[in-house]
Amino acid sequence: MIYAVLMWTSRMYLSYNSSMLKIQKQVDLRKHNTLKIAAKAAYFAIIYSKVELQEAYAWAKKKNLPIFVLGGGSNILFSQNIKALVLKNEIKGISVIKETKTAAWLEARSGEWWSTLVHFAVTHNWGGIENLYYVPGTVGAAPVQNIGAYGVELKDTFVSLLAFDLQSGKEKIFTAEECKFAYRDSVFKHKYKGRYFILSVTVKLSKNPKLKLDYGDIKAKLSEQGIKKPNIRQVAEIIRQIRDSKLPNPAVLANAGSFFKNPEISISAFKKLQLRFPEIKFFPSARPEKIKVPAGWLIEQAGFKGKRFGPVGMYENQALILVNYEGASAKQVLAQVRRVQLGVYKKFGLKIEPEVNIIN
Ligand code: EPU
C-alpha cells in the first residue's frame, strides 16, 4: 500500500523529461471512453512525459504499428478494436508564460483536463474561457474540434500549439491560422487527422475581459439571480449550473456530449423550411451565407427526445446527446445514429452529421 502511494506521488511529480513507459497488450478501452463502449487496444500505454512519448514512438516505428492518440475519450466512438498502439495522454501542467498589465498567456500541457485550465484562469480572474467551463475532455483535444459553448470557442483565445509529428518524430508549432479553426472543426480533423500528438496549447487571456453574456440561458440565469454586472467567477458558476441542469454527467450516464453537429444550411433552404415549420429555431452562422439550425430541436421534433431503443436513446433534457443507458455495443449506438439521422431527414429533409469522432 505504502508502495502504491509512493508510486502515485512520484507519478504526480514526474518531470516532462523522465520515463517509466509501460506498454500493455489487449487492453479494454471501456474505462477510457465516456460512452463506455467495449473495444480493445492491441497495445496501450499511458504517456506521462515527452520522453515516454518519444520512446513509445520509437517502439511503434520498429514494430511498424500505427499510433492512436487518446485524450479524455469524451468525444469518441470506438466502432471496433483498435489495431494500433493507443497512447493515453497524461502529460500535465499549466504555466504562465507571459504576463502584462492587461493580459496573461497560459501554456497548458495537453493531458491536462480542460476544466482544470479554466479553473486556473477563473481563480486568477483572467477572462476568455470561462464560458467553456466543464466542457469535458483534455487540453490537447480542445483544438482538434475547436471546442465551443455559450457563444465562445477555443479559437477566440488560442495563440498556438506545439505538436509532435507521428510521421517524422519532429516537433512543430501551429499558429491559429494554420489550425484552420471553424465550427467544431480544424485541420486536425482533415488533412492532419491522426498525424500529430498535441503536446501543449497556449491561450491569451484578458485581465479586463468583455464577458460574453448574450446566450439565452446565461441571460435567463443572470436575471433569475438578480446579477446585473457579473464577474468572471459568477459567469463560470452560472455555466456550471446551466450544464448541470441540461447535460448528463458522463460519470453517471454514459454519453459523449453533443452527438451531432448543428447543420448549417443556405438562407434560401432555411426560408423554405420556415414556411413549413414556422416555429423552427435558428442561429446565425459564422459563415454569413448560412443559417445554423439546432440539431437538438430537429431531433426532438422528429420524436426521439427521451425515447429509448434498447440500451440507447437521446437524453430527456437535451435531445442532441446520445446516452448509453446500459452496456450498449458500438453496433447498437451506430444503429441509433442512423435511426435518428433518417428520422430527421424524413421530417425535415436535412442531413445531420456526427460531431463525435467515430473510429472505424
Ligand atoms: N433544443 C430543443 N430541444 C432539445 C435541445 C435543444 O428544442 O432537446 C433547442 C433549444 O431550446 C435551443 C436550441 O435548440 O433553442 C439550442 O440548444 P442548446 O442551447 O442546448 O445548444 P445546442 O445547439 O444543442 C450547442 C453545442 C453544445 C454547447 C451548447 C451551448 C454543438 C453540436 N453543441 O448545443 O456543445 O454546450 O451549444 O453553447 O454545437 C458539445 O459539443 O459536446 C456540446 C455539448
State residue 11's pLDDT score.
46
Full domain range(s) for residue 317: 254-359
Residue 158 has pLDDT above 70, yes or no: yes
User: Do 94 and 202 share a domain, yes or no?
Assistant: yes
pLDDT digits (tens, 9 = 90+) for 267-317: 999 999 999 999 999 998 988 999 999 999 999 999 999 999 999 999 999
User: Do 222 and 84 share a domain, yes or no?
Assistant: yes
User: Do 41 and 182 share a domain, yes or no?
Assistant: yes
Cell 453496433, located at residue = 331
Distance from the alpha carbon of residue 107 to the mean position of ligand 1, in angstroms: 29
Say how many Å lie between the first and final Cα of the chain, rounded.
40
| Lowest mean pLDDT, pick from 14-18, 245-249, 284-288 | 14-18
- Provide the sign of the torsion angle of the four alpha carbons 305, 308, 313, 318, taken in this order: positive
Residue 7 has pLDDT above 70, yes or no: no
Q: Whose CA is nearest to atom 5 of ligand 1?
A: 296
For the record, the C-alpha cell of 39 comes out as 473495444
State residue 286's pLDDT score.
87
User: Do 213 and 340 share a domain, yes or no?
Assistant: no
Residue at which a domain ends, from 206, 229, 246:
246
- Please provide the average confidence, as pLDDT, over all residues in the chain: 95
∠ Cα 314 265 274 (to 5°): 80
pLDDT digits (tens, 9 = 90+) for 319-330: 999 999 999 999
Residue at which a domain ends, from 214, 246, 278:
246
> Do 324 and 296 form a contact (C-beta atoms < 8 A)?
no
User: Do 352 and 331 share a domain, yes or no?
Assistant: yes
Distance from the alpha carbon of residue 318 to the mean position of ligand 1, in angstroms: 7
∠ Cα 136 329 78 (to 5°): 50
Instruction: Give the span between the Cα atoms of 173 and 205, in whole angstroms.
Output: 20
Q: How many CA atoms lie within 13 A of 298 on its CB side?
A: 26
∠ Cα 114 120 125 (to 5°): 125
Ligand 1 binding pocket includes 355 (Cβ within 6 Å): yes
Distance from the alpha carbon of residue 320 to the mean position of ligand 1, in angstroms: 7
Mutate which of 297, 301, 304, 352 to test ligand 1's pocket (most atoms within 8 Å of Cβ)?
Answer: 297
User: Do 191 and 276 share a domain, yes or no?
Assistant: no
**Which CATH number is 149's domain given?**
3.30.465.10
User: Do 239 and 266 share a domain, yes or no?
Assistant: no
Active site residue 19: no
Total domain count for the chain?
2
Residue at which a domain ends, from 230, 246, 262:
246
Residue 19 binned pLDDT confidence (cut-offs 50, 70, 90): confident
Distance from the alpha carbon of residue 283 to the mean position of ligand 1, in angstroms: 11
User: Do 144 and 281 share a domain, yes or no?
Assistant: no
Q: Residue 98: which of 181, 160, 155 has the closest Cα?
A: 160
Residues of the chain with pLDDT > 90, as a percent, come to 93
Instruction: Give the span between the Cα atoms of 187 and 63, in whole angstroms.
Output: 28
User: Do 138 and 75 share a domain, yes or no?
Assistant: yes
Ligand 1 binding pocket includes 257 (Cβ within 6 Å): yes
Ligand 1 binding pocket includes 298 (Cβ within 6 Å): no
Residue 360 binned pLDDT confidence (cut-offs 50, 70, 90): confident
Ligand 1 binding pocket includes 150 (Cβ within 6 Å): yes
Q: If you average pLDDT over residues 97-103, what whole number do you get?
A: 98
Mutate which of 261, 320, 340, 344 to test ligand 1's pocket (most atoms within 8 Å of Cβ)?
Answer: 320
Residues of the chain with pLDDT > 70, as a percent, come to 95
Residue 12 binned pLDDT confidence (cut-offs 50, 70, 90): very low
Q: Whose CA is nearest to atom 29 of ligand 1?
A: 149
User: Do 4 and 137 share a domain, yes or no?
Assistant: yes
Q: Whose CA is nearest to atom 41 of ligand 1?
A: 258
**Which CATH number is 291's domain given?**
3.90.78.10
State residue 15's pLDDT score.
60
Selecting among 52, 90, 130, 184, the annotated active-site residue is 184
The pTM of the whole model exceeds 0.75: yes
Instruction: Give the span between the Cα atoms of 357 and 141, in whole angstroms.
Output: 11
User: Do 200 and 238 share a domain, yes or no?
Assistant: yes
State residue 1's pLDDT score.
42
User: Which contacts of 323-329 are long-range, i.e. CB under 8 A and separated by 24 or more positions?
Assistant: 323/248, 323/253, 323/254, 323/255, 324/35, 324/36, 324/37, 324/253, 324/254, 324/255, 325/253, 325/254, 327/36, 327/38, 328/37, 329/37, 329/38
Other CB atoms within 10 A of residue 119 CB: 16
State residue 294's pLDDT score.
98
Query: CB within 8 A of 129, min separation 6: which ones?
Result: 117, 118, 121, 152, 154, 157, 203, 205
User: Do 296 and 197 share a domain, yes or no?
Assistant: no
Instruction: For residue 140, give Cα distances in angstroms to 11, 78, 136, 179.
Output: 20, 19, 12, 13
Residue 3 has pLDDT above 70, yes or no: no
DSSP state of 230: -
Distance from the alpha carbon of residue 113 to the mean position of ligand 1, in angstroms: 22
